[in-house]
Every structure is written in C-alpha cells, then in structure tokens.
Amino acid sequence: MSDPIDFPDIEGTLHPAALADAADLFRRLAAELDWKQETLTLYGRRIPQPRLSAWYGDATYAYSGITLEPRAWHPLLADLRDRCRAMAGTPFNSVLANYYRDGRDSMDWHSDDEATLGPNPVIASVNLGAARRFQLRRKDDKARKIEMLLGGGDVLIMAGRCQHDWQHRVPKTRRPASPRINLTFRRIVAI
Ligand SMILES: O=C(O)CCC(=O)C(=O)O
Ligand SMILES: [Mn+2]
C-alpha cells in the first residue's frame, strides 16, 4: 500500500494497492459471482454488452434500457463495501460488478449520472486481476483527457462533479489481456 494520489481535476483519489488480498478476491469473485452477459437495446437493435456483469445490493438499478434486480450481498462484496466506506468516508448500498474476459471486452464512454445516484455521487471503483487503462475526458472539451492504469488492488474514489463534468471508459486493447474484475460501489438514493 502507498499513499493515496489526488487527481484534483476529476475530484478523484487513487488508493494504489489498497487491497492486500486482491489476488485471492479475484479468484473467488470470478468463480462465485453470478456473471451474465446483458443485452442492450439501442435503436431497436439488441446488442450484447462486451463484458459480463452482476448487480448486488439493496436496490434495483436501471441504466441504458437495462433493469437489474439486485442479488443479496455476497460476503466478500459486503466486506469490500465496508472497506470502501472507510476509504471514501461515505456509505454504499450497491455494487455493479464487471468482468472483462480479455482485451476485446470494454466499457464505452459514459458518466454514472443516473438520477438515482443523487446529485454528486461518490463511487468507489475496486480493481482486481489484469491492469487495464481507464480514461476520462471532459464533456465540454473532449480533447482534455486523463488516463490511469488501474491494476489489481487499486481503488479509485470518484466524487464531487466528476460524473457531471467528465465521462470515462475502459478501451479495448489489442495487447494480450488476462481477465479483470471491476467493482463500482454506489449509493442508490430514493428519488
Ligand atoms: O471497469 C472500470 O474500470 C469502469 C467501470 C464503470 O465505469 C462502471 O461500471 O460504470
Ligand atoms: Mn462508470
């Protein structure tokens, strides 16, 4: 574990190698979570997402035409939720888990700005397995980008105006990439 690194532009804080048990967590969550490939409906076409996902916690989540009913907390996710609460200084009640099977799996530009996340959501992003590039770009100046390599055990806290002013993505890569798990802990609020 090393000191947290602040990214003031995005109101983010990276906690490098914050999880000493990252390798074990990766193996168990890969085997034990209920991974599914969801299908998006865009302009009437059904498009399988380029990754697997699973939604756990206390609330239903709806985004991009998909509604995810929550599963009961897996004990390892409940423990990570509490560790993220300590790091972020704020509580979480749900988590979106994503499994990137290889370099062809990805997540396209978006912000986590659904109304159900409240006005200035704090999101804790836990990274396990292979390191992948994580990019952010400003919505009003798409040439302005920030990039970080998120490796196993790294935790990135995004807060403040991050989801208003910035989009983020995990690009595909042609380099060989072994599997990666990302967990974004969120707090769904009543609206
Ligand atoms: O995999 C990542 O690092 C990002 C995941 C993400 O942005 C999300 O789940 O909303
Ligand atoms: Mn996101």
Name the percent of the chain lying above pLDDT 70. Answer: 99
Give the pLDDT confidence score for residue 170 in this predicted structure. Answer: 98
Check pLDDT > 80 for residue 168: yes
Are 157 and 122 within 8 A, CB to CB?
yes
Give the pLDDT confidence score for residue 191 in this predicted structure. Answer: 61
Q: What separation in Å is there between the alpha carbon of 182 and the centre of ligand 1? A: 6
Give the pLDDT confidence score for residue 16 in this predicted structure. Answer: 98
41-90 pLDDT per residue, tens = 888 899 999 999 999 999 888 877 788 888 999 999 999 999 999 999 99
Give the pLDDT confidence score for residue 69 in this predicted structure. Answer: 86
Alpha carbon dihedral 105, 39, 116, 79, in 10-degree steps, equals -50
pTM: 0.96
Q: What separation in Å is there between the alpha carbon of 20 and the centre of ligand 2? A: 24
Name the percent of the chain lying above pLDDT 90. Answer: 88
Q: How far apart are CA 71 and CA 89, in angstroms?
A: 25
138-151 pLDDT per residue, tens = 999 999 999 999 99
Q: Which ligand is nearest to the CA of 106?
A: 1
3-31 pLDDT per residue, tens = 999 999 999 999 999 999 999 999 999 99
State the distance between the two ends of the chain, measured CA to CA, in whole angstroms.
Answer: 38
Q: How far apart are CA 23 and CA 165, in angstroms?
A: 33
Domains in the chain (CATH in brackets) are: 5-186 (2.60.120.590)
Residues enclosing ligand 1, CB less than 6 A?
Answer: 96, 98, 107, 112, 125, 134, 150, 168, 170, 182, 184
Q: What is the mean pLDDT of residues 98-110?
A: 98
Residue 121: pLDDT band (50, 70, 90) is very high
Beta bridge partners of residue 110, listed in sequence order: 168
Count of CB atoms within 10 A of residue 164's CB? 13
Q: Which ligand is nearest to the CA of 170?
A: 1
Residue 104: pLDDT band (50, 70, 90) is very high
Q: What separation in Å is there between the alpha carbon of 82 and the centre of ligand 1? A: 19
Helix axes 22-32, 75-88, angle to 10 degrees: 140
For the CA of 112, the nearest atom of ligand 1: 10
Check pLDDT > 80 for residue 1: no
For the CA of 53, the nearest atom of ligand 1: 9
Which residue do the tokens 């967590």 mark?
A: 25
